């Protein structure tokens, strides 16, 4: 009495996905965000495996890891509407120079006045199951026991730390411990609008200062490890993300 | 006959052969529509196989992985080492499980059943998705002690797995995403709905007098937390085990003192088989558990309001509640060949 199998033969046809018709004048171009990393001021380049003195705490810090997520890039058109970059997740990893350039392709031609981006990974992707690409768990930026992405990892050695090293894993996407923040950059504030013409890359230049992490939180002699969401992670993440500055646009 | 019957009870097969004139990028067209079956008296499941459509080959792949020691550092243990089908997918009646090198964990390995309905996982609810779940045991140094990067490397080096992933997900290279999704499919299909209790709900079994009285007692004294038909309301509560907490439980996740000593209300399905009990496996028998509720409640600031004066129970009432709890044992589930270790 087993309704074992119902074998049906279904013929389904589906339409080929609409192919873009090539036109004489390209309708899309590309825009990149170029992140430079500096220490304390714009004159000092920041790299891994080099010693820096912290301007506030005077700690001597030598980084072995510096990586963080930027996501959900959007560009505001001159008519006030927003263009949303699809699948917009970037893991900036100082071990990998090319990751400091966040590329958006297929941006419709036009003039853009503003950029919006999120520091971290939006809460939806923190609860939506196994992801791929920048969000792959193999990137080691995921907490397994308290599900969620680690938005920023800063690790290294310091004579000021009681253990000789430091390890800050900052994250948290819900409630009071959320460190997610969305930022807007108005291009005219400091430069010119982004003008996307076909077959061309417009560049947005920004600067990240890793030293900002300790501006309020203080010396690694007090705290050298954070591996979960909480008040101090929030303080460090806020100082860091608020410290990312817009430089200029290069069309 | 028994084998076929249990297979039929667990899955309804509908084989549909679909011929498509074109294929969407990456998305494999399932050739067998192998179905998820929601028992009529269960609520809507939490996991809906979104972006991970259920197919027979994906489920089979997840089952292969669940039973494979390749997921552990030294190829010594599999998920099934601590989640044995014959034990309701809990460990073999030990309080704490041995990980690689025999290191013992710190919490009792829970029984696994009806996980597709779970909004969160672990005694403290720290994990929020059945797909990302497996990262925790694979990378926990007290369990499989591996890295996801390494596991993916080992799988890619294995020709049999490469062809299984190709067949299941149409990928040439195995990714952590597909591995986790396949494991998620197997876990979501661990459906226990053929116990005496379920047969009673379906109208095919009549409770004995003791079971029936036990059921009424259970409904008035336990079901506020162990809510039917999953036997948990998935809330986090302190059921009075300790006055001082060795394990902060939910408080570890939320960082709130008000959550210290709280644990997710566990399901009681297959409870007869899955001893020892509680997050640390402190009780070996159901009568110890009932003695705890009637006379052993420890007071603390986070103790559940409803338990401040315990749950008064006579010796006779305890026996009847235990008789009812035993109706939650699902032998069909624990013997279902579709969930068993594959024979290669």
In angstroms, the CA A87 to CA B289 distance is 50
Peptide bond into B276 cis (omega under 30): yes
Print pLDDT tens along chain B (344 aa): 344 444 443 444 333 333 333 334 344 444 455 899 999 999 999 999 999 999 999 999 999 999 999 999 999 999 999 999 999 999 999 999 999 989 999 999 999 999 999 999 999 999 999 999 999 999 999 999 999 999 999 999 999 999 999 999 999 999 999 999 999 999 999 999 999 999 999 999 999 999 999 999 999 999 999 999 999 999 999 999 999 999 999 999 998 999 999 999 999 999 999 999 999 999 999 999 999 999 999 999 999 999 999 999 999 999 999 999 999 999 999 999 999 999 87
Question: What pLDDT is recorded for position B258?
Answer: 97
Give me the CATH topology for the region B56-192. Cytochrome Bc1 Complex; Chain D, domain 2 (1.10.760)
Nearest-by-CA chain B residue for A144: B136
Which of B12, B123, B135 is the best residue to mutate to test the A interface, defined by the most A CB atoms within 10 Å of its own CB?
B135
In angstroms, the CA B296 to CA B285 distance is 14
Could you tell me whether strands A89-93 and A60-77 are parallel, antiparallel, or unpaired per DSSP bridges?
antiparallel
Question: What pLDDT is recorded for position B110?
Answer: 97
Q: Inform me whether the pLDDT recorded for A2 exceeds 90.
A: no
Nearest to B126 among A3, A15, A146 (CB): A146
Cα B173–Cα B142–Cα A170 angle in degrees, nearest 5: 70
State whether residue A174 sits within 8 Å of chain B by CB. no
List pLDDT tens digits, range A26-85: 799 999 999 999 999 999 999 999 999 999 999 999 999 999 999 999 999 999 999 999
B275 CA to centre of own chain = 14
Question: What pLDDT is recorded for position B293?
Answer: 98
Q: How many domains does chain A have?
A: 1
Residue A39 lies in a domain: yes
Q: Inform me whether the pLDDT recorded for A188 exceeds 60.
A: yes
* Contact state of A145 with B175 under an 8 Å Cβ cutoff: no
Please give the mean pLDDT across all residues of chain A: 91
Residue A10 lies in a domain: no
User: Phi first, then psi: what are they for A231, rounded to 5°?
Assistant: -60, -40
Could you tell me whether strands A110-119 and A181-186 are parallel, antiparallel, or unpaired per DSSP bridges?
antiparallel
Nearest to A8 among B17, B126, B130 (CB): B17
State whether residue A131 sits within 8 Å of chain B by CB. yes
B4 contact residues in A (CB cutoff 8 A): 2
Taking only Cα atoms into account, the Rg of chain A, rounded to an integer number of angstroms, comes to 22
Cα A167–Cα A172–Cα A175 angle in degrees, nearest 5: 145
Residues with Cβ within 8 Å of A85's Cβ and at least 6 positions away in sequence, in order, are A72, A73, A74, A75, A104, A107
Q: Inform me whether the pLDDT recorded for A18 exceeds 80.
A: no
Gap from A130 CA to chain B (nearest CA, Å): 5
Which string of DSSP letters, residue by residue, matches B226-293? S-TTTT----EEB-SS-SS-SS-BHHHHH--GGGTTBEEPPP-TTTTTS-SBTTTT-B-SHHHHHHII
A145 contact residues in B (CB cutoff 8 A): 122, 126-127, 136, 140
Question: What pLDDT is recorded for position A5?
Answer: 37
State whether residue A222 sits within 8 Å of chain B by CB. no
Gap from A43 CA to chain B (nearest CA, Å): 38
Task: Identify the DSSP state of B73.
Answer: T
Question: What pLDDT is recorded for position B200?
Answer: 98
Residue A145 lies in a domain: yes
Question: What pLDDT is recorded for position B198?
Answer: 98
Pick B102 or A20 by higher pLDDT.
Answer: B102
Nearest to B126 among A2, A147, A177 (CB): A147
B178 contact residues in A (CB cutoff 8 A): 130
Question: What pLDDT is recorded for position B343?
Answer: 87
A138 contact residues in B (CB cutoff 8 A): 148-149, 152, 175-176
Cα B214–Cα B215–Cα B219 angle in degrees, nearest 5: 115
List pLDDT tens digits, range B171-198: 999 999 999 999 999 999 999 999 999 9
Provide the domain limits for residue A216.
29-250
Question: What pLDDT is recorded for position B27?
Answer: 45
State whether residue A7 sits within 8 Å of chain B by CB. yes
What part of A 151-170 touches B (C-beta under 8 Å)? none
Q: Report H helices in chain A.
A: 123-127, 231-242
Domain limits, CATH 1.10.760.10, in chain B: 56-192, 196-328
pLDDT band, residue A199 (cuts 50/70/90) = confident
Residues with Cβ within 8 Å of B314's Cβ and at least 6 positions away in sequence, in order, are none
In angstroms, the CA B293 to CA A142 distance is 39
Nearest-by-CA chain B residue for A178: B254
In angstroms, the CA B124 to CA B135 distance is 16
* Contact state of A129 with B176 under an 8 Å Cβ cutoff: no
Question: What pLDDT is recorded for position B32?
Answer: 55
* Contact state of A129 with B180 under an 8 Å Cβ cutoff: yes
A89 CA to centre of own chain = 7
In angstroms, the CA A23 to CA B299 distance is 76
A9 contact residues in B (CB cutoff 8 A): 17, 19
Helix (H) or strand (E) holding A202: strand A201-208
**Which CATH superfamily groups domain B196-328?**
Cytochrome c-like domain (1.10.760.10)
Cβ count near B203 (within 10 Å) = 7
Nearest to B19 among A10, A228, A229 (CB): A10
> What's the predicted TM-score (pTM) here?
0.89
What part of A 80-119 touches B (C-beta under 8 Å)? none
């Amino acid at each position: 009495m087993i309704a074992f199998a119902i074998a049906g033969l279904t013929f389904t046809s589906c339409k080929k996905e609409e192919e873009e018709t090539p036109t004489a004048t390209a309708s899309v171009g590309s825009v990149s965000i170029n992140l430079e990393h500096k220490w304390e001021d714009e004159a000092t380049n920041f790299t891994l495996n080099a010693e820096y003195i912290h301007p506030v705490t005077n700690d001597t810090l030598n980084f072995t890891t510096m990586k963080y997520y930027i996501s959900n890039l959007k560009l505001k058109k001159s008519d006030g509407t927003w263009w949303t970059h699809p699948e917009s997740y970037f893991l900036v990893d100082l071990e990998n120079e090319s990751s400091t350039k966040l590329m958006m392709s297929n941006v419709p031609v036009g003039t853009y006045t503003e950029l919006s981006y999120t520091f971290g990974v939006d809460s939806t992707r923190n609860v939506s199951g196994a992801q791929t690409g920048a969000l792959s768990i193999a990137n080691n930026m995921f907490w397994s026991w308290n599900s969620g992405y680690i938005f920023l990892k800063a690790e290294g050695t310091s004579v000021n730390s009681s253990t000789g090293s430091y390890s800050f894993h900052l994250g948290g996407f819900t409630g009071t411990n959320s460190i997610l923040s969305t930022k807007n950059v108005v291009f005219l504030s400091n430069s010119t609008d982004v003008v996307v013409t076909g077959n061309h890359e417009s560049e947005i230049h920004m600067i990240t200062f890793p030293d900002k992490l300790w501006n309020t939180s203080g010396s690694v002699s007090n705290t050298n490890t954070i591996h979960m969401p909480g008040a101090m992670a929030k303080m460090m993440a806020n100082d860091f993300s608020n410290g990312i500055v817009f430089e200029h646009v290069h069309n | 006959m028994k084998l076929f019957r249990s297979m039929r009870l667990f899955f309804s097969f509908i084989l549909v052969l679909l011929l498509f004139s074109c294929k969407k990028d990456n998305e494999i067209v399932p050739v067998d529509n192998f179905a998820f079956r929601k028992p009529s008296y269960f609520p809507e499941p939490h996991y809906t196989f979104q972006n991970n459509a259920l197919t027979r080959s994906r489920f089979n792949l997840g089952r292969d992985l669940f039973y494979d020691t390749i997921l552990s550092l030294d190829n010594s243990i599999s998920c099934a080492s601590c989640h044995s089908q014959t034990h309701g997918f809990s460990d073999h009646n030990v309080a704490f499980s041995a990980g690689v090198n025999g290191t013992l964990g710190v919490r009792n390995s829970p029984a696994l059943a009806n996980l597709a309905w779970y909004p969160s996982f672990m005694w403290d609810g720290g994990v929020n998705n059945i797909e990302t779940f497996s990262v925790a045991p694979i990378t926990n140094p007290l369990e499989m002690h591996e890295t996801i990067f390494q596991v993916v490397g080992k799988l890619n080096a294995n020709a049999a797995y490469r062809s299984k992933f190709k067949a299941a997900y149409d990928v040439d290279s195995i990714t952590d995403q597909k591995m986790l999704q396949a494991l998620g499919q197997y876990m979501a299909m661990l459906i226990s709905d053929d116990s005496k209790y379920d047969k009673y709900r379906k109208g095919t079994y009549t409770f004995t007098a003791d079971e029936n009285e036990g059921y009424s007692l259970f409904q008035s004294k336990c079901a506020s937390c162990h809510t039917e038909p999953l036997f948990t309301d998935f809330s986090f509560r302190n059921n009075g085990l300790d006055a001082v907490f060795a394990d902060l439980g939910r408080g570890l996740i939320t960082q709130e003192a008000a959550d210290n000593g709280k644990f997710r209300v566990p399901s009681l399905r297959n409870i007869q088989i899955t001893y020892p009990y509680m997050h640390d496996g402190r009780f070996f028998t159901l009568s110890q558990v009932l003695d705890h509720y009637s006379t052993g409640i420890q007071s603390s600031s986070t103790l559940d309001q409803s338990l401040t004066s315990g749950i008064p129970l006579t010796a006779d009432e305890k026996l009847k509640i235990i008789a009812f709890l035993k109706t939650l044992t699902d032998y069909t589930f624990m013997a279902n060949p579709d969930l068993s270790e594959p024979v290669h």
